[in-house]
Structure 1
Amino acid sequence: MVRICGGMVLYEPEINLLKENISCIIDQLDVLYIFDNGSNNSDLIKKEVVNVYPKINYYFSKKNLGIAYGLNWLLKKSMEDNFDWCLTLDQDSICSSNMISEYKKYITYPKIALISPFVLNNSKFTLEEYKKLSLPDYEYITEPMNCITSGCLTNVKIFNNLHGVNSKLFIDFVDTELNCKVLDNGYRILRANRTYLIQQMGKAHQVKLFDWLYRKTKLNTFRRMKVATVYTDQRLYYSSRNSRYIRKNFNHVGKRTSFIFMSMYYCYFSLFYPKNRSRKAMWNSIIKGFKDYKYISGDQS
């Protein structure tokens, strides 16, 4: 019998959203492991969440070690407890009620390392739009940026055989690094299109021009651009640093980690970020990250 657990990395979660997230998925799992990266509201997490669900196994770190470290910890714990697959989750993700039942259809397919849902993020795709799509039951993903950690069912043995992810990435492009490792080593990523995940990536800033163009043309390019994710300068530092690390270290990096794509991505941010953001500070962070990529070693933890 296949054993499936869940794993979630927390940092300062919004409690009501976290409760909604867990309530949607907990009954689909045997156990949910939570790695808390030093949240200041840990007492509230324990009271409102951990103590409510007997299936939760909660571990608290005294300091923020990053998403990459937490992911490695969760998958190592999953292996120690003899689980075959681990559903990795973000604290702000809402899973559909049929996620695990859909995933189970594909876990015996050859060389499957990761199974992903259809992702609806930042209102770029609404649930109503998703339901109207004519999609195959499943498809294989070859673009590493098209599979995120949240909502992804991960083969525990393969993950650990690949030595996990580089903990020095800390945050951003952690899932991309894993996807590149999977593809470079001859494994496959499958997307199950009959299940979905609602994901919030940073704060969303609506771009009215592209929203209007999408409504008029229905072109996917404008759909992707109609909502600009608002990241901190620190997040943009990690984005720039880690994307360059990916380009330098893997073969199956895809088009969306290329220097040209990332440069256009940051230019888009410059044009459509809220007016109160300092473009100078933003670009200083991006340039510093670009230079600092060399300090990320290949050591794992």
Structure 2
Amino acid sequence: MSIEQNNDKSTPFAGVVVWYNPTEKEVENIKSYLGFVKKLYVVDNSAGNNLSLLSELTRDDDKVEYIPNLDNLGIATALNKGCERALEQGYNWILTMDQDSSFDRAEMTKFIDAFETKKLEDPTIAVFTPLTNEYQPEGYASRVITSGNLLSLTAYKQIGGFDDTLFIDEVDHDLCYKLTQRNYTIYTFSNVHMEHKIGDGKSHPFLYPRRLYVMHHGAIRKYYIIRNRFLIRDRFPSFTHDYAKFNFILLLGVIFFEKQKLLKLRYMLRGYCDYKKNRLGRMR
């Protein structure tokens, strides 16, 4: 199936959003960008079917396609399902979104305009991303989060897509490093902002005047973070010199500021042991 260009010559692109136990809030987030995509794939990792939440969006046309996994298959598998459907239907670009991300209409319009201009200037760019925090500079980046990206599906195919074995955490960075190895680039627009919630992160006073930013993830997430960081460090040593520092900061945060310290430390140790055993996929 081929996709016609819009009359205004803008690039037609699909979108994929990954759901997990969604609510009406996640539907409202979809509404913020639905008008800018030709097709949206809602891939649901929940145990139950949540199609009824989309009734308002699917009433009049088939713009939204709901794909229930009826199990948590991980972020990578869900994203791959959306990307593969987009490829089958002839799209060359896809917007990848987390369920807790949204765009102001004016910001999304700026994003698309900037994307259309920059992709002609530099065809090596495979990922275009908006600003999600104040620390992202304008320009080429080594790694970005998945949410809010306009991803080239041509590049996606060449690198083999997202790595299902990672399940969650480092899925986005793994993709970025694979793209860089294939001489693709990643570009951030600092004048385009996306609303995005990253965990339950908080800044804590630590060794005045310094502060420590602590994510406060649950124990299971700590497992995946540690396991996959060590794995990705081995795969891409030239890109991951700062991972040892990240792991040390994670450990400090758990010890000094997080609840369920012993449980989280046990899961982190388990993640490291599974990394050593090359035990990947969903935690067993």
Shift of 1:296: 4.9
SS of corresponding position for 1:9: strand
SS of corresponding position for 2:119: coil
Out of 232, 242, 265, the position equivalent to 2:250 is 265
Question: 1:217 maps to what in 2?
Answer: none
**Contact 1:75 1:160 (8 Å CA) reproduced:** no
* Residue 104 of structure 1 pairs with residue 113 of structure 2: no
Distance 1:251 1:50 in 2: 45
The verdict on how the C-alpha distance between 1:156 and 1:38 changes in structure 2, with shifts beyond 3 A counting, is: same
The verdict on how the C-alpha distance between 1:280 and 1:189 changes in structure 2, with shifts beyond 3 A counting, is: same
Structure 2 regions of 5+ residues with no counterpart? 6-10
Per-residue Cα deviation, 1:90-129 (whole angstroms, up to 9, x for no partner): 0000123223233222223221111111113xxxx5xxxx
The verdict on how the C-alpha distance between 1:170 and 1:271 changes in structure 2, with shifts beyond 3 A counting, is: same
- With normalisation by structure 1, the TM-score equals 0.80
* Residue 236 of structure 1 pairs with residue 222 of structure 2: yes
Matches within 5 A, 1:178-189: 178-189=175-186
* Residue 166 of structure 1 pairs with residue 163 of structure 2: yes
Question: 1:140 maps to what in 2?
Answer: 140
The verdict on how the C-alpha distance between 1:205 and 1:41 changes in structure 2, with shifts beyond 3 A counting, is: farther
Shift of 1:254: 3.3
Q: What is the one-letter code of the residue matched to 1:295?
A: N
Q: Tell me the number of residue pairs that the alignment of Structure 1 and Structure 2 aligns.
A: 265
* Residue 91 of structure 1 pairs with residue 99 of structure 2: yes
Per-residue Cα deviation, 1:196-232 (whole angstroms, up to 9, x for no partner): 111112224453x37x96xxxxxxx74xx45x32211
**Contact 2:19 2:99 (8 Å CA) reproduced:** yes
**Contact 2:92 2:154 (8 Å CA) reproduced:** yes
Shift of 1:38: 2.8
SS of corresponding position for 1:191: strand
Out of 34, 38, 41, the position equivalent to 2:46 is 38
Matches within 5 A, 1:196-211: 196-205=193-202, 207=204, 209=205
Shift of 1:149: 0.3
Question: 2:8 maps to what in 1?
Answer: none
Shift of 1:53: 7.1
SS of corresponding position for 1:104: helix
Q: Identity rate of aligned residues, in percent?
A: 26
**Contact 1:3 1:30 (8 Å CA) reproduced:** yes
Shift of 1:251: 4.1
Per-residue Cα deviation, 1:173-203 (whole angstroms, up to 9, x for no partner): 1101101111122110011122111111222
Distance 1:39 1:48 in 2: 22
Distance 1:80 1:267 in 2: 46
Between 1:110-119 and 1:44-53, the stretch displaced more is 44-53
**Contact 1:180 1:251 (8 Å CA) reproduced:** no
The verdict on how the C-alpha distance between 1:204 and 1:51 changes in structure 2, with shifts beyond 3 A counting, is: farther
Per-residue Cα deviation, 1:61-103 (whole angstroms, up to 9, x for no partner): 1211110101111111111111110010000001232232332
Per-residue Cα deviation, 1:242-294 (whole angstroms, up to 9, x for no partner): 111101112442344x2233122221232122xxx221111111111012124
SS of corresponding position for 1:107: helix
Distance 1:230 1:44 in 2: 32
**Contact 2:254 2:264 (8 Å CA) reproduced:** no
- With normalisation by structure 2, the TM-score equals 0.84
Out of 275, 278, 281, the position equivalent to 1:295 is 278
Question: 2:172 maps to what in 1?
Answer: 175
Distance 2:203 2:64 in 1: 36
Distance 1:195 1:33 in 2: 23
The verdict on how the C-alpha distance between 1:279 and 1:165 changes in structure 2, with shifts beyond 3 A counting, is: same
Question: 2:64 maps to what in 1?
Answer: 56
Per-residue Cα deviation, 1:117-142 (whole angstroms, up to 9, x for no partner): 1113xxxx5xxxx9xx9x7xx40002
* Residue 78 of structure 1 pairs with residue 86 of structure 2: yes
Distance 1:265 1:141 in 2: 23
* Residue 28 of structure 1 pairs with residue 36 of structure 2: yes
The verdict on how the C-alpha distance between 1:159 and 1:8 changes in structure 2, with shifts beyond 3 A counting, is: same
SS of corresponding position for 1:13: coil
Structure 1 regions of 5+ residues with no counterpart? 214-220
* Residue 285 of structure 1 pairs with residue 282 of structure 2: no
